Structure 1
Amino acid sequence: MTADPADTDQAVADYTASLPAKRMAAAVLFFDDTDRILLVEPAYTKTYWELPGGSAEADESPRAAAVREIQEELGLTVEPGRLLAIDWVPPRPGRTEGLMIVFDGGQLSPEQVAAIQLPPEELRSWAWSTSHEQEQRLSPLLARRAAASCRARAEGPTAYLENGYAVS
């Protein structure tokens, strides 16, 4: 007697449904003509700035999440470029573990910069930031992720990170 492939598919589906879910978010790095990156300042109770982007919704790819979040946060319709970094972040109080994905948004044109519109309930401001300003504005984890993403953009290979630190 031959096994029915539908039975095998059902067994695999039941198994994968039991696996733990991970939080996932996507960010896009945008650059100006001097290679500063665009950072956004949240309007809510965070004490640090962020990379533009946000959480992926159920059944949404990281790339689709990046496109949606940039439209929501900056009012820009962009197609992200290549993958710069993947960062696994361990759980911490109040947050599950997660995978953070960073895409290259390239250099924004003067027209795109002029078209930026922030949702006032979510973002207070945005600014071009040098590496020194990134270290001051971002949390240590986000500063490590941004720096690794910038290196990946300049040097070529995608960065694999754990908690913002490169893993070789």
Structure 2
Amino acid sequence: MSPTSSDPDAWNAYLAEGNAKQARKRVAADVLLRDPLGRVLLVNPTYKPGWDLPGGMAEANESPEEAVRRELREELGRDVDVLGLLVVDWVAPHGPWDDQIAFIFDGGTLHGGEALRPHDHELSEARFVPLEEARDLVGERMRQRLEAAMKALREGRPTYLRDGAPTW
């Protein structure tokens, strides 16, 4: 017989046991930031090939939007306002990795013309580039998400991808 909510301690232990058996998802959170010319901000990670949108992996029990804010503070010394959700991408298991949920948030347009410089060892460079150049600098998976993010901006609604492909 399963415990009921009338015994809070037994109920919480029962729920904790179920929680411990459930799958855990890796969560990535990136942000699309533009400058007044419409160029997009890319970063060059030191730990993998190719350029990327700024952001990174969420820590345990950290929301995706807080993860992207933390990553930008750590890596670029910049506080960013998250203006909305652009993309959610479920990424199938690949190589040594389990599946993942990847988010792209709208960070809006940065004004002021200040240069963004890496603040830690994870990035070698950060720069605004025209969208056409960005498409060539990022890997295929990020290219698909970037295209979906630009479409979401134009259409004013977020997009769901399944392994980089639109589902509907």
TM-based fold match above 0.5: yes
Q: Does 1:37 align with 2:15?
A: no
Determine which of 84, 87, 92 is the counterpart of 1:85. Answer: 87
Count of paired positions? 164
The Cα shift of 1:85 comes to 0.8
The Cα shift of 1:155 comes to 0.7
Determine which of 20, 24, 27 is the counterpart of 1:24. Answer: 27
- Point out where structure 1 has 5 or more consecutive residues left out of the alignment: none
Alignment partner, residue 14 of structure 2: 11
- Structure 1 residue identity aligned to 2:131: S
Q: 1:5 to 1:115 in 2, by over 3 A?
A: farther
CA RMSD of aligned residues (A): 1.8
Counterpart CA distance in 1 for 2:133 and 2:162 is: 23
Counterpart CA distance in 1 for 2:126 and 2:60 is: 28
| Residues 131, 147 of structure 1: 8 Å contact kept | no
Alignment partner, residue 147 of structure 1: 147
Q: TM-score, normalised by structure 1?
A: 0.89
Counterpart CA distance in 1 for 2:150 and 2:114 is: 24
Q: Does 1:69 align with 2:71?
A: yes
The Cα shift of 1:41 comes to 0.9
Counterpart CA distance in 2 for 1:87 and 1:35 is: 24
The Cα shift of 1:145 comes to 0.3
Stretch deviating more after TM superposition (128-137 or 85-94)? 128-137
Counterpart CA distance in 2 for 1:154 and 1:34 is: 16
Counterpart CA distance in 2 for 1:17 and 1:130 is: 45
Alignment partner, residue 132 of structure 1: 132
| Residues 43, 120 of structure 1: 8 Å contact kept | no
Counterpart CA distance in 2 for 1:37 and 1:115 is: 13
The Cα shift of 1:21 comes to 0.8
Q: 1:55 to 1:117 in 2, by over 3 A?
A: same
| Percent of aligned pairs with the same amino acid | 35
Counterpart CA distance in 2 for 1:96 and 1:80 is: 27
Q: TM-score, normalised by structure 2?
A: 0.89
- Structure 1 residue identity aligned to 2:42: L
| Residues 90, 99 of structure 2: 8 Å contact kept | yes
Counterpart CA distance in 2 for 1:5 and 1:151 is: 51
Is the partner of 2:102 in helix, strand or coil? strand
Counterpart CA distance in 2 for 1:131 and 1:164 is: 18
Counterpart CA distance in 1 for 2:114 and 2:147 is: 26
| Residues 73, 79 of structure 2: 8 Å contact kept | yes
| Residues 116, 127 of structure 2: 8 Å contact kept | no
Is the partner of 1:114 in helix, strand or coil? coil
| Residues 76, 115 of structure 1: 8 Å contact kept | no
The Cα shift of 1:129 comes to 2.4
Counterpart CA distance in 2 for 1:38 and 1:20 is: 33
Q: Deviations over 1:89-119 (max 9, x none)?
A: 1111121210111110000012xx4152313
